[in-house]
Structure 1
Amino acid sequence: MAASASTGGNPSGVRGRGPRCIAIVGPFQSGKTSLFESILERCGAVSRAGSVKSRNSVGDASPEARAHQMSTEPNVASVDFMGERYTFIDCPGSVEFLQEMRHVLPAVDAAVVVCEADDRKAPALELVLRELEEADIPRFLFLNKIDSASRRVRETLGLLQRASRTPLLLRQIPIWQGGIAVGFIDLALERAFIYREHAPSEIVPLAPEEVERERDARFSMLEKLADYDDTLMEDLLGDIEPPRDLIFDDLARELKERHVVPVLIGAAERGNGVTRLLKALRHEAPSLDVTRGRIGVVDSGTPLALVMKTWQSGQGGKLSLARVLRGRMAEGDVITSSGGVEARIASVLELKGAEQQRRPAAEEGETVAFARLEGVRTGDAIAVGKVRPDVVSAVAPPEPVHALSVGVKDRKDDVRLTTGLAKLVEEDPALALEHRPEFSEMRLSGQGEMHLRVALERLAGRYGVNVDSGATQIGYRETLRGKASARGRHRKQSGGHGQFGDVVLEIAPLPRGEGIRFVDRITGGVVPKQYISSVEAGVRDYCQRGPLGFPLVDIEVTLTDGSYHTVDSSDMAFRQAARLAMTEACPQARPVLLEPILAVEIVIPSDAMSRASAIVSARRGQILGYDARPGWRGWDQINALMPEAEMGGLIVELRSATAGVGTFSARFDHLAELAGKPADAVVAAQALVQAR
C-alpha cells in the first residue's frame, strides 16, 4: 500500500470507517480549546478560529467559562475531514473539572492529549494520562506551543515520558531557524513541512543539514515500533528500508493496542501542525467496532447509545450528549436506560458549541444531543425499546474535597434553591448536596473552590437564585469528665389534674464512642415501669444540647430514685423531670468540648512533600507517616490526623503548593478533647448563635 501524494502520504484505499469521536484532553491552559478552534477552522466548520482571550470561541461559550477564561464543561462540535465525519469533544483541563473528562472517555475512539514543555505541568499531565491508561483509551500526544519552546524536543520527550507509563513515540521533529521552530519533519513520511499561519503547512525539500538528524530520529521511531513487529525488526537488522505501508500499518496497530503513544508537534493558536494531526487521526484512530469491543457492546441488537454529559438550562430543558454505538436513534423513539428509566427522545440535535441544529435521527457512530430524556443520567446506556441495556459505564463520583454551607438570601427562594441545586447535581455528578438537620444547614460539596464557585454562578444565572455561602458547621460534641447526681422534680397545679414527676439521676462518663447509656435501677416501684421510658426520653432530649451548647455523648445516666402521684403523674411530667435533673447535674460533672478528628491521606508530587507537611502542621495536624504513593513514580502520600475545624480551604493550599495537582481523602476517626482558649472561642460562638 503505497503512500498517496493526494492525501499527504496516508495510505490509499483507506475506506470510510464511520463517524468517529475524539476527546481533546490535557492539563489546564495547555491549549486544548485553541486546538479545538483550529480544527474547526481547518475543517471549514468556522471561517476563523476563535480565541479564549477574545471570548469569541465556539468552545467555552457559557457565561462561566467566558468569565473565568477556562473550560468548565465539555465543548462539542462535529466536522468533516477528507470525506469522513468526526466529533471532537474538548474536555476541561483543571483538576477540579476532571470528572467531566471521565464521563466522556468510555465512548470515544481515541484522545488527543495537548501538552507543552513545562516541568510545572508534568504532574498534571500524569494525572490525565493515568485516567486514559486506566480507561484503556488509545491516545496521541500533541506537543503544543512548539513556536515558543525553549528546549530541544528530545529533552522534552524525556520530561513527558516520566508522566506516561506507555512508551512515547516521537513522530515529528521541528525545523529550527534562529532558535524558533518554523516547521517540522514527518518521520513516517520522510518529508519536511514549513508552517503557514492558519493554513496547511507547505511541503519543502529536506535541507541537507537536516538529513542526518532526520535519519537518527526516524531510526529511533522504527526501533520502538519494531519492539512489537518481528518483520520490521528483521528489516532493521538487515539494514533493509521497510515499506512505508508496513510503517503506517504498525503505527495504526500499535496505537490501537496501546503499545505506544505517538507524539506530534505544533502550535494550536497559529493552526500549525493541525492538518498532520487530523491525517494521523484519519488513518490511525480506531473505528467504532474497536470502541464497542473495549466497552463490551456487541455489534448487533437494538439501537444503543452512551450518555456522556447532561446539561440543564433554566428554560430550554434537559440535553443528554450521547454517542450512538449501535443502530440508528430517531426523534420520537422510546428508550430505556440502564437505570431502568423509560423516556421519549423529544428531538435530536447536532451541536457546535452553543449552537444546535435539529435533525431527524442520529446514525451509528454519531455523537449528538437528545432532548428531554428525563430521569436519564450521565453515564447511562440507553437502548430503543423497553429492555434495559446491560452496558455499564457509569463512573463513580470522586470524593468531595471542598464544601460550603449555602442558604437563600430571601426565604421565598427556598424551593427554587432546592430545585436548582438538584438539577446542578444531576448535571455534574462531582457535586454533592447534603441536608444537615442538626445544623439546619444545606451543604454543597465539590472538587475545589472554583468548582463550587462555578456551580453557584450557574445557580444564579440559570435559575435566578442568589445564595449566601460560607464555612460549613463543625460537628462538635461534648462529654463529661466527672460524676454528679441531681433530683429533678416537675410539679404543676392549675386546677383539675396537675402534673407531677420526680426522679433522681446519677451521671458518669463513658469511654469514647460508647454513646448514651441509660440504666434503670429503680426498686420498690417508686417510679412506675410505665414512666421509665419517658425518663429515658427526657434524658435524650437534654443530650441534644448539653451545658456547652453541643450534643452530649459518651455518658451513662442511671435512674436511682424518684416518686410519683397516683393522679397527677404522666409521661410528660416524668420526661420534664428528667430534663430538669440533667440540667442541674451536668454542669457539675465538668463538661468538656470534643472536636471531630479526621484521618487524612494526602497525595502530592514528591518535590512538594516539605510544603505539604508544613501545611498539615500549621493546621494542628498530627503526621502519622510518609510513604511512596503506590503505583505512582515520583509521588508521595502523607497520612495524618487533622481536626475537622482545620479542613476548610485545605485543598486550596495543597493545590497552590503543588501546581494544582495535590489532593486528599478524609474520613472521621475519633473525637478528641479541646480545651483552653480554642474551646472557649467555640463555646462563645455557639452561645451567640443560640441567642439569635
Structure 2
Amino acid sequence: MTDANGGMSSGRRGGPRCVALVGPFGSGKTTLLEALLERTGAVTRAGSVAGGTSVGDASPQARAHQMGVELNVAEGDYLGDRYTFLDCPGSVEYAFETEAVLAGVDVAVVVAEADEKKIPALQLILRLLEDRRIPHILFLNKLDKTEGGVRDVLELMQPASAVPLVLRQIPMMKDGVTVGAIDLALERAYVWQEHALSEVTEIPDAERAAEVEARYAMLERIADYDDHLMEELLSDVTPPRDEIFDDLAKEMKAGLICPVLIGSAERGAGVDRLLKTLRHESPGLPETLARLGVAPKADAVVQILKTFHTPHGGKLSVSRILAGKVVDGATLYGDDGLSDRVSGIYRMLGKENQKRSEAVAGETVALGKIEPAKTGMTLSGSKAGIKPLVVVTPPQPVMSFSISAQEHKDDAKLSLGLAKIIEEDPSLTVRQDKESGETLFAGQGEMHLRVALERLEHKFAVKVKTGPASVPYKESYSGQAAVRGRHKKQSGGHGQFGDVALEITAGTRGSGFVFADRITGGVVPRQYIPAVEEGVGEFLEKGLHGFPVVDLHVALVDGSYHTVDSSDMAFKMAAQLGMREGLAKMHSILLEPILKVSITTPSDATARINQIVSGRRGQLLGYDGRPGWPGWDIVEALIPQAEMDGLIVEIRSATQGVGGFTQSFDNLAEVVGHVAAKVLERVKAAQNAA
C-alpha cells in the first residue's frame, strides 16, 4: 500500500533518527544537507557552499578552503519524523571524524558521483561502513551532469563495495538530459522540479523497456537473499509491492545490499525519494541498539560523537541519546569513574543552538560542559558507568612539524589551545621531543595541520611559528683511545681537582653506552666514581658535533685526587675533558634513523609510489596485494627519517588523495658522502648562529 505521495504507508519507523552523510571530497554532501534541510522545512531556502550561505561548512576555515573540515549537525522534520543529519568531511585527512560519528548513527547516506578518479576514496568509505556494520544507502549525485548510462557507472563502482549495489531508480531522459527518475520498486516516474516536489507521471513509453529490464535486475539481486522471492521470479509470478519493499528494507538493515538512489543535490532533485527511503526502509533506534549490543534500559546511555569548544559557550559534546532520558543538570558517568553534570542541552542547526530542557532516546543533541567527556566515549546515567560501546582509535600521524608561540608570553595560551584543539580532534597529537626540546605537532596531512593552526589563531588568539621537526641523528665512533682528563682550578679557599685516565672503545651497533670501573688501589676514591660516569654520560648526550653518542664503551682505569680540593663536580669535569680529547682521536660516524614504512595505495599507483620511495633514498622491500582490499597494494620500504618530510603530500598526489602510510623505527644507519657533509654543515652553522 502506498500513501498519497507515492511512499509506502506500512512499515513506518517512528522516533528520532540519526543519519550520517558521508562520501568522497567534493561529492556534494553539504549541498545535499542544504537540500534536505530545505525539504524538511528547517530552512526556508537551501544555502550555497560556494556562496558561503550554507548551514554546513560554516566555520571560517571551511569557508576559506571551500571544503568540509569538521562535523556539521542539523535537524529536520519530515512527515512527522525527526531526523538529525551529520554531515562528515570527505577528505581522507578527516577520516577519524567520520569514524567517531558512525558510532552512534542508524544509517549512512553515501554521496558519490560518477567520477572514476574517486572510486578509491569511495572504497575507503564503504569499507569503513562495512567494517562497522552500518546500513547504508548510496545517493548517486550530480546525475544531471553525468555522461554515460547509470548502470555503467554502477558497474564501475561495484568493486568498491563488498555488497551488491542495487539500483533503485533509473534516470528519465529528454533530449539527452536527465529530467527525472523512474522508481523501480514503485514503478512510477518522477519529473524533477527545481528545489520543489517532483511531479509524478506515467513511465514514458520510450523508457518502459529499460524500466522492465532494470526492475527485473533489481529483483534478481534481492532474491539472492529471499528464497520465496526467487521462486516467484522463476515462476513468472509478479511479487507484491509490499513484499519487494520489505525485502529491500530487511536486506539493507542486515548489510546484505546497498540501495542506490539518484538525483542532483544542487537542484534539490531526488531528495524526496531519499527521505521516503529513510523513513520507510532505514533502521531506527531499536536496530541500532541491537547492533551495538545495548539492551533498552531506564538509565541514560549517551554516545559522544564529537567535541567542540565554543568561544563563549564553553565545551559542547555532540551526543546521541541511545537509551533513557537526559535532563538539564543530570549527572552522567563514564566507565573510568569520572562524572559531571550536564550544563545545557541544545538542538543544533549548524552553528546555531536552541536550548532545550531534556533529550530522549533517539535524539542527537549537544550537551554542555561535561568536562570528562571525550569523543568516542560512552556515558551513562548510572553511577556504575558503562563500558564503551565502540572503540575508536585515532590513526598514526603522517605529518609533523615543530611549533612554538611567536611571543614567549603566549606559551601558556598555546599549551591550552593545543589541548583543546586535540580534544576536538584526537587525530591531532602534540608531544615534547626529549632530545631536541621541540614541541611537535602532528596530524593526518598538510590541510589537516593548516586548518588546525588557523583554528588556534581564530579560537584562542595565539600566533605561532612552525618549522621542520629535527631529525634525531646519532653519532658513533670506530677505533679506540686512551686519554687522561685533568681538571684543576685554584680560586681562593678550596680549589678544584679531578684526574682520570679513560680507555674509550667503540662498541657493537646497538650495544649502547657501557661504563666500567677498573680502578685498583683507591687512586680514585669510590665516592667519586659515580660522578665520573655521570660526566661521561652527560658529554655523550651532545658529543663533539651536537649529536648524542651511542654504542661506546668507556673504562675508568686510573686517576688521582686531592684530599681537600677533589669533589664530585671536579671529577665530572675531568671526565668530560677526557672524553672531548679522546673522541677527537677516534673516527666519527654519523648515524640516521631509518624507518620501516608501510604504504597503502591503489594498485594503479604502485609504480609511482615505488619511484617516490627511491627518490627519497628509500630501500624498497617489496609490495603485495592489500589483504581484503581488491585493487590495493601495500608497499614496504625502509626510508631515512630525514626524507619523510612531505612524503604524505607526494603519496596523496600520486593516489588521488587516498594513499597513506604507517611508520616505525627500524635501525640506525651510517650517513656518508655529501649527505653527511650537508648535515654537519647545517649543525655547525646553527651552532655559530647561537
TM-score after normalising by structure 1:
0.98
Q: Distance in 1 between matches of 2:404 and 2:389?
A: 36
In the alignment, which of 3, 6, 12 is matched to residue 8 of structure 1? 6
| 1:44 alignment partner, SS class | coil
Match of 1:383 among 368, 377, 380: 380
**Cα distance per residue 1:145-184 (max 9 Å; x no partner):** 1001112111111111010011111100011222211111
In the alignment, does 2:98 pair up with 1:101? yes
Shift of residue 578 of structure 1?
0.3
Distance 2:331 2:608 in 1: 55
CA contact (8 A) 1:331 1:345 kept: yes
Distance 1:152 1:338 in 2: 52
Task: Give the SS at the match of 2:582.
Answer: helix
Secondary structure of 2:208's counterpart equals helix
Instruction: Tell me the alpha carbon deviations over residues 280-333 of structure 1, each in whole angstroms, 9 at most, x when there is no partner.
Output: 000011010110111121101311110000001233200000010001101010
Structure 1 residue 676 displacement after superposition:
2.1
Q: Partner of 1:28: helix, strand, or coil?
A: coil
Indicate the residue corresponding to 1:418 in structure 2.
415
In the alignment, structure 1 residue 500 sits paired with structure 2 residue 501: no
* Residue identity opposite 1:9 in structure 2: G
Q: CA deviation at 1:240?
A: 0.5
Note if 1:528 corresponds to 2:525: yes
Counterpart Cα distance in 1 of 2:304 and 2:201: 45
Of residues 611, 635, 642, the one that matches 1:645 is: 642
Does the aligned pair in 2 maintain the 1:27–1:121 contact within 8 Å? yes
Further displaced range: 516-525 or 661-670: 516-525
Moved more, 652-661 or 291-300: 291-300
Residue in 2 that maps onto 1:660: 657
Q: Is 1:82 aligned with 2:66?
A: no
Partner Cα distance (2:366, 2:333) in 1: 16
Give the length in aligned residue pairs.
Answer: 689
Deviation at 1:551, TM superposition (A): 0.7
SS of residue in 1 equivalent to 2:125: helix
Contact 2:13 2:280 (C-alpha < 8 Å) held by counterparts: no
Shift of 1:385: 4.0
| 3-state DSSP of counterpart to 1:97 | helix
1:547 touches 1:591 (CA, 8 Å); kept in 2? no
Instruction: Report the CA distance between 1:479 and its aligned residue.
Output: 0.6
Q: How does 1:577-592 map to 2 (within 5 A)?
A: 577-592=574-589
Match of 2:26 among 23, 26, 29: 29
Residue 637 of structure 2 is aligned to residue 627 of structure 1: no
Mean CA deviation greater in 461-470 or 376-385: 376-385
Report the alpha carbon displacement of residue 600 of structure 1 after superposing the two structures with TM.
Answer: 0.5
SS in 1 for 2:677: helix
Instruction: Give the counterpart of 1:72 among 69, 73, 83.
Output: 69
Alignment deviations for residues 436-485 of structure 1 (CA, whole Å, 9 cap, x no partner): 13212110000000000000000000110010012111100101022112
Contact persistence 2:13–2:279 (CA under 8 A) = no
Deviation, 1:616, is: 0.6
Other structure's SS at 2:665 match: strand
Aligned counterparts of 1:179 and 1:652: Cα–Cα separation in 2: 40
TM-score by length of 2: 0.99
Whole-angstrom CA distance in 2 between matches of 1:442 and 1:316: 29
Counterparts of 1:365 and 1:431, CA distance in 2: 30
2:38 pairs with 1:41: yes
Stretch of structure 1 that moved more, 303-312 or 524-533: 524-533
Work out whether 1:318 is the aligned partner of 2:315: yes
Aligned to 1:542: 539
Q: Is the contact made by 2:12 and 2:279 (CA closer than 8 Å) also made in structure 1?
A: no
Q: Alignment partner for residue 549 of structure 2, among 528, 548, 552?
A: 552
Partner of residue 566, structure 2: 569
Distance 2:7 2:22 in 1: 27
Residue pair 1:600, 1:640 contacting (<8 A) in 2 also = yes
| 1:91 partnered with 2:124 | no
Aligned equivalent of 2:347, options 332, 350, 358: 350
How do 1:125-140 residues align onto structure 2 when only pairs under 5 Å count? 125-140=122-137
Tell me the distance in 1 between the aligned counterparts of 2:72 and 2:142.
Answer: 21
**Residue 109 of structure 2: aligned partner:** 112
Distance in 1, matches of 2:651 and 2:173, equals 39
- What is aligned with 2:257? 260
- Structure 2: distance between partners of 1:288 and 1:391: 18
Which of 399, 402, 422 aligns to 1:402? It is: 399
Deviations 1:90-111 (A, max 9, x none): 0000000111100010110000
Q: Deviation digits for residues 62-89 of structure 1, max 9, x if unmatched?
A: 0100100111111111110011111010
**In the aligned structure 2, how far is the partner of 1:105 from the partner of 1:496?**
74
Gaps of 5+ in 2: none
Structure 1 residue 687, shift from structure 2 partner? 2.3
- Say whether 1:475 aligns with 2:472: yes
1:338/1:392 contact within 8 Å kept: no
Offset of 1:567 from its aligned partner?
2.1
Does residue 336 (structure 1) correspond to residue 333 (structure 2)? The answer is yes
| 2:230 equivalent in structure 1 | 233
State the percentage of identical aligned residues. Answer: 53
Tell me which residue corresponds to 2:179. Answer: 182
**1:393 positional shift:** 2.0
Letter in 2 for 1:493: Q
Distance in 1 between the 2:382 and 2:661 partners?
43
How far apart, in 1, do the equivalents of 2:45 and 2:612 lie? Answer: 47
For 1:439 and 1:211, how far apart are their aligned partners in 2? Answer: 72
Alignment of 1:673-692 (within 5 A): 673-691=670-688, 692=690
Q: Do 1:185 and 1:193's aligned partners in 2 also have CA atoms closer than 8 Å? A: yes
Residue 165 (1) aligns with residue 162 (2):
yes
Q: Match of 1:438, SS?
A: coil
Output one character per residue of 1:106-131: Cα deviation in whole Å (capped at 9) or x when no partner: 11000000001111000000000011
Does the aligned pair in 2 maintain the 1:337–1:382 contact within 8 Å? yes
Q: After the TM superposition, which parts of structure 1 deviate over 3 Å for at least 4 consecutive aligned residues?
A: 13-16
Q: Is the 1:60–1:70 Cα contact (8 Å) retained in structure 2?
A: yes
1:488-507 superposed Cα distances (whole Å, 9 cap, x missing partner): 00111223322211111111
- AA aligned opposite 1:253: K
Tell whether the 8 Å contact from 1:3 to 1:244 is kept in structure 2 after alignment. no
SS at match of 2:475: strand
For residue 682 of structure 1, report the CA deviation from its aligned partner. 1.2
What SS class does the counterpart of residue 628 from structure 2 fall into? coil
